[in-house]
Amino acid sequence: MAWLVFLLFIMGGIYLLIKAQRKKPKMTEVERIKEPPQSIVTGMTEEHIVRLAGMLDPAIWKNPPLTVRFALDWFRGNYRAFELEDGRAIPVPPDYRDVAKIILRSGTELTKEQKRGYGIHLNAKVSTSAIEHLTQQGLRDCVQEAQTLALAIGAIEHSLINLHDWKEWGEKKVGFSPAPDACPQCKKLKKTYAIDKTPIPVLDTHLGCRCCLVP
Ligand SMILES: [Zn+2]
């Protein structure tokens, strides 16, 4: 009798496990998209790249436009396609932390002696080109700056692609929506704009801006 109860108990457990598995929304990564078509036409242009590069600290970045172009290329080349339950595939941009890592890891990895010389942890994956791009401010600043840049590129591309799509759908106006803890300058921008006249978060505000546009 006891073993029967035990068996029922185990079967009940298996049933609950399967049920919990089913509840997860199905979103399967199907493939990596090389160059998602919309961002070539609608994302950052050379003018935007130069404008963003101009916001980077020249004391930290040695060649800001080169770094922005490099990071943007990687960002665009690493969209992934996710397939939804209804069969539609949606492109998902890479995580900003991965973009930041790529900025820091591009090129040849530093030797242990070089890392020791820069005061960098010996297990850290930091490359010679990161050091070419960044001056010797220490690894913490390198990581922070790379993350800020990666976030900026993601935010600008997101806004520009959205604006393009909304125009296609016939939207004439767009709202600038400041982040809950936005700075006073960003809070002042809160209003509705003609779609071609709207300030773009980061590009027209500041690095680290987390405000967004709403249709
Ligand atoms: Zn802002």
Give the model confidence (pLDDT) of 150-197 as tens digits.
Answer: 999 999 999 999 999 999 999 999 999 999 999 999 999 999 999 999
**For the segment 20-40, what is each residue's pLDDT rounded down to a tens digit?**
555 554 555 555 555 555 556
Neighbours of ion ligand 1 (CB under 5 A): 182, 186, 205, 209, 211
Planar angle of CA 202, 205, 208, nearest 5 degrees? 50
Ligand 1 centre and the CA of 11: distance in Å?
53
* pLDDT higher than threshold 70 for residue 46: yes
Cα(88)–Cα(215) distance, rounded to whole angstroms?
23
Cα separation of 94 and 207, whole Å?
A: 19
Residues 149 and 104 sit within 8 Å (Cβ to Cβ): no
Dist. CA 145–CA 175, nearest whole Å? 29
Q: For the chain, which residues make up each domain, given as ranges?
A: 26-170, 171-215
Residue 149: DSSP 8-state:
H
Which pLDDT does position 22 carry in this prediction? 55
Single-letter amino acid code for the residue at 131:
I
- How far does residue 53's CA lie from ligand 1's centre (Å)? 18
Say how many Å lie between the CA of residue 200 and the centre of ligand 1.
9
pLDDT at 77: 86
Q: Which token pair is 58? A: 């020249």
SS3 129: helix
Length of the chain: 215
User: In the sheet where 89-92 sits, what is the strand order?
Assistant: 28-33, 79-83, 89-92
pLDDT digits (tens, 9 = 90+) for 103-150: 877 667 778 887 787 777 788 777 766 666 665 555 566 778 889 999
CA of 134 to the centre of ligand 1 (A): 26
Percent of the chain surpassing pLDDT 90:
40
